[in-house]
Structure 1
Amino acid sequence: MIVTGASTGIGFDLTRTLCEKGYVVWACVRKPESLSRLLIDFEDRLRVIQLDVTNTHDIERALITVQAEMNPNRELILINNAGIASGGPIEGLQMEEWRKVFDVNLFGMVEMTKTFLPLIRETRGRVINIGSISGRVAAPFMGPYTTSKFAVKAFTDSLRREVSSLGVRVSLIEAGPIRTEIWSKSVDKTDRIMEQCPLELRKVYGGMMSLIREGVLQAAQEAVPVDVATKAIMHAIESHLPKVNYLVGKRIKLQANMLKFMSTRMIDRVIRKSLRFHRS
């Protein structure tokens, strides 16, 4: 198993679960010391690789390591989990922020998949991408994150349709609020972005951003434990017939079904009401 973004949240819990089940795991992290506590317990099956998914050299070095250590008679499974979140008004977001989010959430995923796909094909393995329910409905003031997650869904669909006839299974985990560190990191990052915005933009968007902040904190409180996501990923790993899409989280399946019957204008009205938008 190759797991990116294994240092915290879903990636860490999944890595620990895989090791407990006896799998050999190549855990990819930017800071190897973040997994020192797991290495103590699983030294015989945990391989820690220092890797930044935005760094081509790191990815190529990881390929060499996995090639040398893998069992060619067992399917190789790649779990693309690394991701970041940030937000703010589109008018106030620097292009650098958009590129940073896309580099991690999308282009890093694409390059990891492209690099390891020959080995995955040879072993008739699997690719599991960690997406989000935000890849189905675009939230305001989370433009870079939601746009990247829409792209992740499209990339996963394209990949699945290309390689399914080759014996490679591809699944997408569409997660709702999961109890991980991404929430506090996202709020802190968005706060910094707003602080750097010109005073005029803070006046225009500040009230709505405050409501978004409250909504994010509320969602964090209602988030399901991380092991809920891990169980879904384990099914995608171990099932003879893994699902194409896994909707994970509290009321996420209900929300996804409701979206099918709502027009775009209806969705806009619901979101506008939640932000107390009023027509002038």
Structure 2
Amino acid sequence: MTEKLVVVTGASTGLGAAVARRLAGPGYHVLAGVRRDRDADAIRSAGVEPVILDITEPGHVAALAARVGGDPRALHAVVNNAGIQVNGPVEALPMEQWRWVFEVNLFGHVAVTQALLPALLRSRGRVVNISSIGGRFALPTYGAYAGAKFALEAVSDSLRREVAPLGVQVVVVEPGGVRTEMAGRGVATANRLAAQMTPEQEERYGGLVRAINTMMAEGTASGLTADAAARTVAKAVTTRRPRTRYTIGRDAAVLVRLARVLSDRALDRVSAATVKRYHPKPATV
């Protein structure tokens, strides 16, 4: 058999679904992780085999590893794409939300990677971790989300240095604004959590939260389509000698460059000036 397996987590909608469809075809059979039967029905097609997968459920991860281990085809790549977006000020975001963001956006990826590394070591395959520009630059209210993404970047660097001598490649992909359902859900979640702030917290952060939500919605609306973003992920999967990191979108490329050359204080001023444009305007009589 010349066909190889690729696992894509978080493939119900958005970027994950677009990546699964783009990779399916000559050379690759995609195991697309979805959480519900109706999502499985929607994505099932030639070359795309849905598997029920919640990356925070150990039984699901073990079943995925068994599915891969029982297949005669080599595992070429694991695309760790599943994720959630939860935003809120550090002071006001409930601790259960902090823990859940890290459970999904970091620990779930580690669990999947651990389970599938034996197969990747046998095939000399690769791990592709979908991070975010939030893994390089943390806006206000992005503490939990960016914290998990910064951690994913660090885990990716450590893993790359561990397994490169063993023939396994590790690639990080850092999208900017992409038009997906996750961003819309993130705004709705941020609004719901903001409504639970105390009056004092609302006074301190209410305007900031509304500004960030407006900025996030605008950036998503003007971002790349999931299909366009999937081209870069597919390149990271299929290129014989991939780079260690890829950005997706002009906004991500610009922010990465700024983060490299500007001081922390200068980046603070850039962030404040950007967010200020989205603050609610005072009512006029």
RMSD over equivalenced CA pairs, Å? 1.5
Higher mean C-alpha displacement, 20-29 vs 164-173? 20-29
- Helix, strand or coil for the counterpart of 1:172? strand
TM-superposed deviation, 1:21: 4.5
* 2:61 pairs with 1:59: yes
2:186 is aligned to 186
1:218 & 1:103 partners in 2: Cα distance? 28
* 2:211 pairs with 1:206: no
Higher mean C-alpha displacement, 105-114 vs 23-32? 23-32
- Helix, strand or coil for the counterpart of 2:130? strand
**TM-score, normalised via structure 2 length:** 0.91
2:154 is aligned to 154
Q: How many residues matched?
A: 272
- Identity level (%): 36
**TM-score, normalised via structure 1 length:** 0.93
Query: For residues 86-105 of structure 1, what are the structure 2 equivalents within 5 Å?
Result: 86-105=86-105
2:27 & 2:43 partners in 1: Cα distance? 13
| C-alpha distance 275-237 of structure 1, shift in aligned 2 (>3 A) | closer
2:213 & 2:72 partners in 1: Cα distance? 44
The one-letter amino acid paired with 1:221 is A
2:116 is aligned to 116
1:37 & 1:251 partners in 2: Cα distance? 31
2:19 & 2:37 partners in 1: Cα distance? 16
The one-letter amino acid paired with 2:42 is R
TM-superposed deviation, 1:202: 1.3
Gaps of 5+ in 2: 1-5, 278-285
Provide, for residues 225-257 of structure 1, a one-character-per-residue CA deviation record: whole Å limited to 9, x for no partner: 112321111111111111110011124223211
| C-alpha distance 110-53 of structure 1, shift in aligned 2 (>3 A) | same
TM-superposed deviation, 1:161: 0.6
Gaps of 5+ in 1: none
1:70 & 1:101 partners in 2: Cα distance? 35
Provide, for residues 161-203 of structure 1, a one-character-per-residue CA deviation record: whole Å limited to 9, x for no partner: 1001111011000111111111110000000001111122112
- Helix, strand or coil for the counterpart of 1:129? strand
Q: Any conservation in 2 of the 1:228–1:248 contact (CA below 8 Å)? A: no
Higher mean C-alpha displacement, 60-69 vs 186-195? 60-69
